[in-house]
Structure 1
Amino acid sequence: MGGACAAGPAPHRPAVLDESGPQVTVTRTGDRLVVDYRFGRDAPVWAFMDSALETDTRQPWRPRQWTVETPGVVMERRGHYDIVRSADGGPVPREVRFRVTPKAMDLEAEYPTLLFSNGAVALPTRQLDVFALDSVQAAEVVPDDLNRVKLDGGPSRVTWRDDSGPVLFNGRRRDALTTTDERSYVLLGEATVTPGQGLSTVIDPNLPPWIGEEIRDFAPHVGQYYRDRLGAPGAGGDTPIVMVAWNGPTERMTSMGGSVLPGLIVMSFEGRGVTTPQAEIRERSRWFIGHEGAHFWLGQTVRYQFADEAWITEGGADLMAVRALKALDPAYDARNELQSEVDDCADLAKRPVAQAGARGEHRAYYACGAVFALAAEGAQRQRTGGDWFDFLKPLLRQPDGVLSREEWLSGLTRVSRDPSLRGDVERLLDQGAADPSAVIARLFQRTGVAFRLVDGRVVLN
C-alpha cells in the first residue's frame, strides 16, 4: 500500500531573538486562496521555518504551490529553506502577497496541506512562520535542525478568513480566528463535525463510507487502551478530533497518509483500491491510528529535543501501536510488523541513524527506534516482568516536556543495569555499523528479546 507513512510530530519551535512576528492574513474567496504578509520591520531576507521537501521527489513543496504576486519580490530555495528577497537586493517590501494553489502531497517530517473533495482545504497553522536573515548567503548556512540555533523572528500572527462562511478550528466554527502559537489545522470551506464517543470526526463527504465507519469504531478503543496504560495525555485532550480527507479514486493507486497534532489526527486517502473494504487497508488504517494516537503521549506529552532524536518518538510510537493492536485484536500479527522494523533497521543502520533525516531516510527513525524500544522492553521484562509501557511511563514525567536522548539512554541503563547497552545504541546512532545485525543481536541477547540468527539475519521468534 503506497503512501502509508506519516509525518510524525514536528520538533518544538526553536528559541527566537525577536518575538514580533509578522501579521499574516489567509483569505479564501471561492477557489482562490491568498496569503498576505505584513512585516513589522525591514529585512533583506525572510525564510520560512516550514521548508520541508516532498516525500516522493525530495523537492521543496512551497514553490509548487505558492506564487509571489508582489512585484520585485523573488521566492527561491537557498540551503535548506525557502526564502523571499527583493530582486534589487534591498529590504523585502513590508507587504508581500502570495497566491496559493493547494496540493495534496506527503512531506518529509512536516504537516501537509489537506484537500477535500468538495473544495475545502485545511492548512497547518504554523506553515506561515518566518525568520529574518541578513543575506542570501546567511540562508545557505542555516542548519536543517532549527532547534540548535536562535532565530531572529517569532511566530506569525495569522488571521483566517473564508468569504463563504466561518472557519473550522479545534472542532468549532468561528466567524473570526487569529492564531499564533497554536499548532493545529484550520479548515476553510464546508465540513461537518460529527461528535462521537471518545472522539469527534470531520470526514470528507465523499470518503468511502466503510473507512469512516472503521475510524469511528476503532480509534476510541486505541485511545482508551493508551489511557489505561499511561494515564491521560499531557496534550491532545480526552476527546481528540480525527480529520479525514479524500483525494479521489485515482486508478492504480491505494494511498494513505497523515500526521498528528495536539488534539487532532489528520488522515488522507486516495485511490481506486480504497473504495471497497479490504483487509489490508483496514489493517494499515488501524496501524496508522495506533501510531498517530500514540503521539499524544510520546511526541506531545513529551517531545524530543533535536530533530536527530526523532527515533525516540517514532520508534517508540511504533512499538506502542504494535502492543495496542495486539491487545485489541489477538489475531493481529505483531511479530510480522516487528520483523519489518528489525530488517529495515539492519539495512539502514550501516550509516549513522541520527543523520538519517538529512539523507532522506526517515524510515530509520521508525525502524531503529522500534529496535531500541524492543531492547528496552526486554530489559524491563527481565527486571520487573513489565513491558514497553512500563518502561515508558516514568519517562513521560519530564518537567520541561522534553525527553532527550540522554534521559532515554539513562532510563535504559537504570532498568537494565547494563551500561554496555547504551554503547551499542550510541554506536548505531552516531557511527552506524558495517554489520548492524550483529549489533542488534547483541542488544537482544542481553535484554532477553527472543530471536535466532539465520544466515546473519536477526529473526524474531
Structure 2
Amino acid sequence: MIRRLLLMLALLAATPAAAQQAQVNVTRTGDAFVAEFDLPRASPAWGFFRSSPARDKQSWRLQSWQVLTPGVALQRCGNFDALVGVNGRPIPPKVRVRVTPFTGELLADYVPALRLGGDSVAIFDGHFAVFSVNRVTVFDRLAGRPPPGSVIDTGTRVRFRGTNLRLAGDVDGYRRGDSEGTYGLYDVPRPVVRMGIATVLDTDLPQWIAADLASYTPRAIEVLSAGLGPSGVAEPTILAAWEGANREGASMNGGTLKGLILMRFEGRAALKPVPALTDLAHWFIAHEASHFWLGQSVHYGSQRDSWIMEGGADLLAVRTVQSLNPAFDGRAKLNEAIRDCSDLAFQPVATAIDRNQVRANYACGLVFALVAERASRGDFYSFVRALVAANLADQEVTTADWLAAFERAGGSRAQSNQIRVLVERGSASPKQAIAKLLRDAGTPFALNREGVPQLQ
C-alpha cells in the first residue's frame, strides 16, 4: 500500500516536468545569432522537425550552425538534423548554437533566413522546433516527418530577442511538430501600409519590382476579399527579398505563412522590367493570398485533402488575375492543369504527396475546382465562400466536406462520385474521365491529338 502510494506520488511529481516544453531564445550578436535551447528533459538526441536539405541536397544547418556547448554535436541522422550527445551521453539541459543566417533555397521548406538590405535580417522560427528520442537509432526508422507517438514532442516556444525587432504575422512563437511559423524581423524598416496591406521590401530590391508589388498586392487582396468575405487576417503582409544579380536571367520563388506572403527575387535580367516576371509575380501573389482563406481560415483534414487548397487557390488566382488584367488569358494555365492531371491521375490524387507527385494536387485540384465553378453558375468565389462558411466550426475541410459543398452548389451525385473515384482510386483512363467530368459540367472543350481535353 505504501509502495503504491509512493509510486503514485512519484508519477504525479514527474508529470509537470514531462509536460514542460522546449524553449529557444534567438538573440542577434553582430552579424550572427545565438540560439539558446532550454531543453526540459534528458535525452541522447533532439531532432529538428523541419529538416529539409538545401538545393544541393546537403544539410543547411551543418553549413551554417556551430554548437558552442561542449559534449553536444550537430549531425545528420537519417532524414533529420539533430543535436546529439557525444559518446552517447545525455544532452545537457541548456545548449547554445551560433547561427549564421542561411539564405539559400531548401528542397521543400521555407528559406531559413532572408537579408533585406543593410543590416536587415529575417529569421524563420519554425526551424528551431525540436523533438526528443530515447535512442539515436530511432532516426533511422523515421521518414520525412515523424509519425505520431514515435517521438516525444511537448512543443517548442521560440522567442526572438533584441532591439528593433518585431514579428511578421500574427503568431505566438509556439510550435508543435512542423507547424508553420513566422519570421523574426531584425533591424527591418517599418512596413509601408496601403489599403490595409503591409509591404516589407528589401531596400536593394529593384525599384520597378518594389513599386509593382506595393501597387498590385492590395488590389489582388481587395478582389479576393470582395468575393470571399473577410479572411480573418488583420493586416496581410508581403515580405520580399532581393537575392542579388549574380545569376543570369530572372527568377522568383516564395510561399505563404499565417497572414504573410513571402517572395524572393534574383537574377541579372530582373534589374530591368521583365513582363514575364511581372506576370509570374501577379499570379503568385493571387495564389498565395488565396491561402488566407483556403489554408488558414480553413485547412485540409490531412495531406490526402491538400488538392482542395492548392487546386482551389490556383483557380482563384486565375480569376483574380483576369479581373485585374482583362488581357490575361487564363486558358493556358487551365489547359496545363488538365494535361498534367491527365498524366498523373492514373493513381489516387489523395496519395500524390506519398509518391512525391505534388503536382497532382494542383493540377487535378484545379480540374475539380473548374467543375465546381460550373456547378456554382460560373462563380467560384461563391463556392469557396460557402465551403469556408460551412466548415468554420472545426476549421477543417475534408474530401467529404468538399463533395457535400459541391452537391449543395448544384453538382450532381454522379459528378461527385466521379471526382471521389479520381481522388481515392485514380483512373485507368484519366483522359476520358476528365473529358466526361468537363462534358457533364457543360464546359466546352476539344480533344488534342493525344486525346487530352483542351478548353477553347
- Normalising to structure 2: TM-score of the pair? 0.86
Aligned 8 A contact 2:341 2:363 in 1: yes
Change (3 A) 1:189 1:376: same
The residue matched to 2:105 in structure 1 has which SS? coil
Aligned 8 A contact 2:18 2:40 in 1: no
Deviates more, 1:128-137 or 1:150-159: 150-159
Structure-2 separation of matches of 1:409 and 1:20: 41
Could you tell me which amino acid in structure 2 is paired with residue 452 of structure 1? A
The residue matched to 1:191 in structure 2 has which SS? coil
Which residue, 436, 443, 453 being the options, matches 2:447?
453
Shift of 1:257: 1.3
1:216 aligns with 2:214: yes
Could you tell me which amino acid in structure 1 is paired with residue 327 of structure 2? A
1:137 aligns with 2:174: no
Deviates more, 1:240-249 or 1:75-84: 75-84
Aligned to 1:68: 67
Deviates more, 1:267-276 or 1:74-83: 74-83
Structure-2 separation of matches of 1:33 and 1:319: 41
What percent of counterpart residues are identical? Answer: 35
Aligned to 1:308: 304
Could you tell me which amino acid in structure 2 is paired with residue 99 of structure 1? R
The residue matched to 1:260 in structure 2 has which SS? strand
Aligned 8 A contact 1:34 1:98 in 2: yes
Considering Cα pairs closer than 8 Å and 6+ residues apart, tell me whether 1 or 2 has the greater RCO: 1
Shift of 1:148: 5.8
Shift of 1:414: 3.8
Aligned to 1:323: 319
Shift of 1:378: 2.1
Aligned 8 A contact 1:171 1:193 in 2: no
Change (3 A) 1:448 1:18: farther
Change (3 A) 1:233 1:48: same
Aligned to 1:299: 295
Deviates more, 1:419-428 or 1:451-460: 419-428
Change (3 A) 1:283 1:378: same
Structure 1: runs of 5+ lacking an equivalent = 1-16
Aligned to 1:442: 436
Structure-1 separation of matches of 2:143 and 2:226: 40
Shift of 1:139: 3.1
Structure-2 separation of matches of 1:282 and 1:72: 51
The residue matched to 1:310 in structure 2 has which SS? helix
Structure-1 separation of matches of 2:351 and 2:75: 25
Deviations, residues 389-427 of structure 1 (Å, cap 9, x unaligned): 122112102201111222112323443453343443344
For 1:377-396, what aligned pairs fall within 5 Å after superposition? 377-380=373-376, 385-396=377-388
1:88 aligns with 2:87: yes
Structure-1 separation of matches of 2:292 and 2:87: 47
Aligned 8 A contact 1:298 1:317 in 2: yes
Aligned 8 A contact 1:441 1:458 in 2: yes
- Over alpha carbons, which structure has the higher Rg? 2
The residue matched to 2:244 in structure 1 has which SS? coil
Structure-2 separation of matches of 1:106 and 1:359: 22
Aligned to 2:96: 97
Shift of 1:301: 0.4
Structure-2 separation of matches of 1:314 and 1:147: 24
Which residue, 397, 402, 405 being the options, matches 1:403?
397
Could you tell me which amino acid in structure 1 is paired with residue 29 of structure 2? T
- Normalising to structure 1: TM-score of the pair? 0.85
Aligned 8 A contact 1:44 1:135 in 2: yes
Aligned to 1:258: 254
1:111 aligns with 2:110: yes
For 1:214-253, what aligned pairs fall within 5 Å after superposition? 214-234=212-232, 236-237=233-234, 239-253=235-249
Shift of 1:60: 4.6
1:340 aligns with 2:339: no
Aligned to 1:5: none
Deviations, residues 259-301 of structure 1 (Å, cap 9, x unaligned): 2222221211111121111211111111111011111111110
Shift of 1:75: 3.1
The residue matched to 1:123 in structure 2 has which SS? strand
For 1:8-157, what aligned pairs fall within 5 Å after superposition? 19-54=19-54, 56-57=55-56, 59-113=58-112, 114-142=114-142, 144=144, 152-157=152-157
Structure 2: runs of 5+ lacking an equivalent = 1-16
Could you tell me which amino acid in structure 2 is paired with residue 203 of structure 1? L
Structure-2 separation of matches of 1:129 and 1:248: 30
Structure-2 separation of matches of 1:444 and 1:101: 52
Shift of 1:57: 4.5
